[in-house]
Structure 1
């Protein structure tokens, strides 16, 4: 009789838990659907200012290499196309999003023309990110080696879920002499409507980006010939590419950020499109602020992903209470992934400060120790700050109860975004 009662109680408890879980998931789905609907309506009726501050283009020299920071898409795309058109030997192009619009066609036609004149061209683009683009758009010259990072991969079912990330990288290398990396995807929207940051590098340290491309090509493009693995032939510790490789469960970018934050003594200036840090990174930022470091974070007030915004806002209270400045970018999407610390250390790359970038996707960031570049990044941060509004603790604590409820309901999704 006791065993029967125990079994009945367990079955009842299991049923109750299952129903509670289904109810909670239903509430989450309703909150997400409502947020998406409201966001879509607001974007239709909202009047946005045309344009946004354009910090400019900045060039510095580090040892035998030259870096150029681009902050406006049209300028960057012109420079990239020029590099493609001047290519003599090799083009390596990797992107997350490659839209089938005028800018997308410009890049496609340029690499096709390069292949037609005998340049060796390798292209990687992410299949999932471009599901909305007609497959017919990706018509490449027969001599272009193309790897479409697959939407469905066996690793999704048979390996650790952390080993199944998307290819979120945006980089290009031409003739081993010029390279580009940063937040810009390929598309007309990004040319003039979004604020982002990309870095061009010329000189020996281009090897860092070539090696980043080759490592993913040789790991993933199993049906095509592998690329030659080359040695750097030099040591320049002030410029280093840091690569997240999910297939190997290697995610060093997170550690690089943690180390820089923990070492900070004066300032930490971060710009990121999506801010959903894990607890360790969050704690490091709060500790830095509490020990007197000037910690500022620029985020879009309204990004292109409303759910990510809801999850990000769940961190604002802790940040504001500890003195971290939350600067909300106005009237445009800011998509940059940059940081600079103490006027010494900087990073520009493809990784956001969220779980997908830091422990999920393929990403590449350049880590750079140079005072001149750090000064440039601080200048860009200051100009971007002129287009933000400072969120106050008083304002945030008085937000609507519905907003608080949404943040609480969606908080369990943080490990997945």
Structure 2
């Protein structure tokens, strides 16, 4: 009997170390950043079972077999549609500003299409005004309304929008709604899914959280886009979830969320429609492409309007493109670089680019919320402050609520706005979208908004930061250790 137990225990010990060795080899074979690989290896060797389970659950980008097959199958038809679109030469820009040219060339080589011109953009900074404007557009919709959001929380002004959305569906407008399962859990626990479906809206719960599929798909892979498309002509995107900020997370102690949305008319609605069509097919298996190209594209003069490049990320989209776009934008800066983000946990490459910009004389400002709803991100982001301050980067802490706006402005000319946080999840994992706009007038508008944020912020002095308690530094380093995994 003792021999039997010895053999069994030996078998389990051998299997245990074999599993550790296999996971170690898998980590080493994956071409990931060294800090990320080292963090995973340390976790696995310090807490083997916990580390292995965590890595198999969160360490790799698993979309799931069914979705991965759909993502692969959708590209032939999408590529054909893009080929037809590229024949509409009049909507594509050929000249870019000096600061924007490298970024737009990168996107052309990675995505296959150039930036589109002839768009009209309006920046919306007040959430109530955004919802009111969106309701008016929904009430005038004639053909289709397509939405995707990370969070939809019923209540307040959002309920008025939901009523307008359902009324549109009942009068014959084709209405579709993609909502992330984790972010919109309150919505899916409410009565709204049923009454919306009864009204004729196709409501789809995206990336359902299911512990039974823990090892088959990353449960922390989220649909983080915020987009609305109306009649293939009007589009919205930006940082705002479908929430009423007067009611949203009021118990978090960070104040109301401050967001920025863009309302657009023109060809950019079609390029955003391609992104939505891909998301819809990956999740439902149903093909949904925008109408035939070159139809009603130019509501404005061809030689006027904003030039925009849509940059999308997530499984099935070009790898690391948003990260590459950010790096390109930062290295293109010659005079001024201003960034706003609620969550700041940059990659080593992005941190180095920002510091290098400041060291070569660029006026670099980063505006972050003083208070944050994520304790881990709040401490991890502070671990980068010393290096940034020593390089000459100005760090402003916003005191007017949780600044949720994601924006980058380079030399007053090149703007990036959208859903992308400057953290690992947005840069490497989630479904995200950002707009690159090459336009001096738009840059001026964004600059005014960022300056308004600065008036409600406090500049962090390097001497003040050096006097913080020693235990703060310890906590910062602990969470910095986990920064590649956030």
- Say yes or no: does 1:212 pair with 2:270: no
Following superposition of structure 1 onto structure 2, how do residues 2-401 of structure 1 map, counting pairs within 5 Å? 21=46, 63-133=117-187, 134-139=189-194, 140-142=196-198, 143-152=200-209, 157-158=215-216, 165-189=221-245, 193-222=256-285, 225-230=286-291, 232-233=293-294, 238-248=307-317, 250-401=319-470
Equivalent residues of 2:335, 2:362 under 8 A apart: yes
Q: Could you list the per-position Cα deviations for residues 365-415 of structure 1 after superposition, in whole angstroms to 9, with x for gaps in the alignment?
A: 111111111111111111110000000111111101121111111112212
Q: 1:393 to 1:173 in 2, by over 3 A?
A: same
Counterpart CA distance in 1 for 2:288 and 2:124 is 29
Equivalent residues of 1:104, 1:187 under 8 A apart: yes
Q: Could you list the per-position Cα deviations for residues 104-143 of structure 1 after superposition, in whole angstroms to 9, with x for gaps in the alignment?
A: 3223222111110000011100001122442423231342
Aligned to 2:103: none
Deviates more, 1:301-310 or 1:346-355: 301-310
Q: 1:20 to 1:209 in 2, by over 3 A?
A: closer
Q: Deviation at 1:194?
A: 2.0
Equivalent residues of 1:184, 1:190 under 8 A apart: no
Equivalent residues of 1:164, 1:246 under 8 A apart: no
Q: Could you list the per-position Cα deviations for residues 53-102 of structure 1 after superposition, in whole angstroms to 9, with x for gaps in the alignment?
A: xxxxxxxxx95221000111011011111111111100011111000212
Deviates more, 1:227-236 or 1:401-410: 227-236
Q: Could you list the per-position Cα deviations for residues 18-55 of structure 1 after superposition, in whole angstroms to 9, with x for gaps in the alignment?
A: 999359x9xxxxxxxxxxxxxxxxxxxxxxxxxxxxxx
- Structure 1 segments (4+ residues) deviating >4 Å: 17-20, 153-156, 229-232, 234-237
Q: Could you list the per-position Cα deviations for residues 257-286 of structure 1 after superposition, in whole angstroms to 9, with x for gaps in the alignment?
A: 110101111111101111100000000001
Equivalent residues of 1:243, 1:251 under 8 A apart: no
Counterpart CA distance in 2 for 1:356 and 1:91 is 28
Counterpart CA distance in 2 for 1:18 and 1:74 is 45
Equivalent residues of 1:168, 1:350 under 8 A apart: yes
> Where in structure 1 are there 5+ consecutive unaligned residues?
1-6, 26-61
Counterpart CA distance in 2 for 1:340 and 1:80 is 26
Please report the TM-score for the alignment, with normalisation by the length of structure 2: 0.70
Equivalent residues of 2:237, 2:261 under 8 A apart: yes
Counterpart CA distance in 2 for 1:65 and 1:237 is 5
Equivalent residues of 1:272, 1:334 under 8 A apart: yes
Equivalent residues of 1:327, 1:389 under 8 A apart: yes
Equivalent residues of 1:73, 1:191 under 8 A apart: no
Please report the TM-score for the alignment, with normalisation by the length of structure 1: 0.81
Counterpart CA distance in 1 for 2:429 and 2:269 is 25
Counterpart CA distance in 2 for 1:18 and 1:130 is 31
Q: 1:272 to 1:18 in 2, by over 3 A?
A: closer
Counterpart CA distance in 1 for 2:43 and 2:155 is 46
> Where in structure 2 are there 5+ consecutive unaligned residues?
1-9, 18-41, 51-115, 249-255
The Cα RMSD (Å) is 2.9
Q: 1:100 to 1:368 in 2, by over 3 A?
A: same
Counterpart CA distance in 1 for 2:208 and 2:408 is 31
